[in-house]
């Protein structure tokens, strides 16, 4: 009986540690016939649209499509707990492609403490989004007192962007990723051409 209780406790702890690093519905395969997507919060400003597409996903049967004909901002976001994780360095991996993009797109990651205070922020905006699928990654370190990690994707401008397979993994060695804006000044030079508005404050991690 004691051994049984020990095994149950061990399995529960192990499950909590795994869930602390796992996004729900990372491949956008659930709830495809509804206006919501399991695990994700969807929001569009202006005339933008978000839908679940089965046209040439990166993997599986579906991906998430963000589309604007006029200047607008669309976002999708999800938060996960970091409470039961001892990992200090993470990387967020995502696949993306775009068509007729006139604006900016990418992911923003914010780590907060238990009170909701922002501890650190990292952003990855794609320099030249391609029509073919390409996989990107964003690296970040977890500060002491971290409680949650929020991941937000954005399309700001016009055109179409597709996202798929957003995953979180432990990063053994923290280093810059290729294909995204590496400095705040470089990103702001580009973002300054477009109105991001009050929806989200974007910042790029200084390396």
> pLDDT tens, 58-72?
999 999 999 988 877
> What's the CA gap between 135 and 96, in Å, rounded?
6
Is the model more confident about 45 or about 18? 45
Asked if residue 199 is part of any domain, the answer here is no
Q: What is the pTM of this model?
A: 0.72
Structural domain includes residue 135:
yes
What mean pLDDT comes out for the span 12-16? Answer: 34
Band of residue 15 on the pLDDT scale cut at 50, 70, 90: very low
Sign of CA dihedral 9, 15, 20, 21: positive
Cβ-contact 93, 136 below 8 angstroms: yes
The answer to whether 167 and 151 have CB atoms below 8 angstroms apart is no
The enclosing domain of 186 has a CATH number of: 2.60.120.260
Which residue, chain included where needed, has tokens 């993306």?
A: 96
Question: Is 196 among the domain residues?
Answer: no
Chain centre distance of CA 52: 16
Please report the pLDDT score of residue 32 as a whole number: 57
Q: What percent of the chain has pLDDT over 70?
A: 69
- Whether 203 is in a domain gets the answer no
Whether 124 maps to a domain, the answer reads yes
Residue 183 lies in a domain: yes
**For residue 35, is it within any domain?**
yes
Count of domains forming the chain: 1
The whole-angstrom separation of Cα 64 and Cα 162 is: 6
pLDDT tens profile 21-47: 578 888 888 765 555 567 888 888 777
- If one compares 96 and 16, the residue with the highest pLDDT of the two is 96
* Domain, as residue range, for 35: 2-191
Domain assignment present for residue 101? The answer is yes
- CA separation for the pair 56, 65 (Å, rounded): 11
Task: Answer yes or no: are the C-beta atoms of 160 and 98 closer than 8 Å.
Answer: yes
């Amino acid at each position: 009986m004691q051994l049984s209780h020990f095994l149950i406790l061990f399995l529960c702890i192990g499950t909590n540690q795994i869930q602390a690093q796992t996004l729900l519905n990372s491949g956008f395969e659930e709830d495809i016939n509804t206006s919501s997507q399991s695990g994700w919060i969807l929001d569009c400003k202006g005339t933008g649209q978000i839908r679940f597409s089965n046209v040439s996903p990166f993997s599986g049967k579906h991906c998430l499509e963000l589309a604007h004909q006029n200047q607008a901002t669309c976002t999708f976001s999800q938060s996960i707990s970091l409470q039961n994780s001892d990992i200090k360095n993470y990387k967020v991996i995502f696949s993306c492609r775009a068509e007729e993009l006139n604006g900016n797109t990418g992911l923003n990651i914010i780590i907060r403490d238990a009170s909701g205070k922002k501890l650190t922020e990292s952003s990855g905006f794609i320099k030249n989004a391609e029509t073919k699928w390409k996989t990107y990654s964003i690296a970040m370190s977890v500060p002491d007192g971290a409680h949650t990690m929020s991941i937000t994707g954005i399309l700001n401008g016009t055109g179409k962007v597709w996202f798929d397979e957003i995953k979180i993994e432990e990063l053994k060695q923290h280093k810059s990723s290729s294909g995204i804006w590496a400095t705040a000044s470089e990103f702001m030079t580009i973002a300054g051409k477009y109105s991001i508005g009050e929806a989200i404050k974007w910042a790029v991690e200084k390396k």
